Chain A
Amino acid sequence: EAQVTQNPRYLITVTGKKLTVTCSQNMNHEYMSWYRQDPGLGLRQIYYSMNVEVTDKGDVPEGYKVSRKEKRNFPLILESPSPNQTSLYFCASSLTTDTEAFFGQGTRLTVV
């Protein structure tokens, strides 16, 4: 089954404790991206990647890191999480820029 898998689905952590949210797709897609969703703000781009070792900042990259060492994986790293990073995070992948993006199930992160 074609899918984007994010883990974990839910995470509560403390300020400053490094964490990684994993994202994996099994569709051999070139494009992968991370969004955060906050009430009233829609989805905002954090980082995206068009291929292995190629990443770009989105609209809200501060406090996040990504890597794309393999085509299928695109982890999101929070080196020192802060409460303002409490949000719902989505990973997405697409074959081209003009085809539908497949989204993961979302990761609800709470930083206390």
Chain B
Amino acid sequence: AQKITQTQPGMFVQEKEAVTLDCTYDTSDQSYGLFWYKQPSSGEMIFLIYQGSYDEQNATEGRYSLNFQKARKSANLVISASQLGDSAMYFCAMREGLGGSYIPTFGRGTSLIVHP
């Protein structure tokens, strides 16, 4: 079973609109961390945002916010006011506690295209 599931292979959004990229995870650990990374067409991996399992508030970084719903094991990325430069692949990742490796496991990614 996949530990990280990203059900949207591709998403389209109009410039300046908000978009939500879905991510669900599977772990039995109490302590874990959730990450989102962006990979533009140039190929580099860019860190966007982090949420710890014990953090009570949703993480935010500029236009990025992580909608963390622990009971549903959901960690969706919300990008507000989309820009053309947001067009990229987006990966959700999870670092588990004692039950897994201590480096993130990645989902298969969602390709986001922002239309002008």
Indicate whether A100 reaches chain B with its CB closer than 8 angstroms: yes
Complex: A41 Cα to B43 Cα, angstroms: 15
Complex: A96 Cα to B14 Cα, angstroms: 37
Distance in angstroms from A100 CB to nearest chain B CB is 4
B 37-81 binary contact with A (CB < 8 Å = 1; else 0): 000000111010010100000000000000000000000000000
Residues on A with beta carbons closer than 8 Å to the beta carbon of B33: 97-98
Complex: A94 Cα to B101 Cα, angstroms: 14
Q: Name which residue of chain B comes closest to A30, CB basis.
A: B102
> Interface size on B (CB < 8 Å)?
22
Contact at B106–A101, with CB atoms within 8 Å?
A: no
Indicate whether A106 reaches chain B with its CB closer than 8 angstroms: yes
Residue picked from A56, A59, A90, A97, most chain B C-beta under 10 Å: A97
Known: A99-B50, A101-B47. A33 touches B107 (CB 8 A): no
Q: Please give the residue numbers on chain A whose beta carbons come within 8 Å of chain B beta carbons, in ascending order.
A: 31, 33, 35, 40-45, 48, 50, 56, 58-59, 88, 90, 92, 94, 97-103, 105-106
Q: Please give the residue numbers on chain B whose beta carbons come within 8 Å of chain A beta carbons, in ascending order.
A: 4, 6, 33, 35, 43-45, 47, 50, 52, 91, 93, 95, 101-109
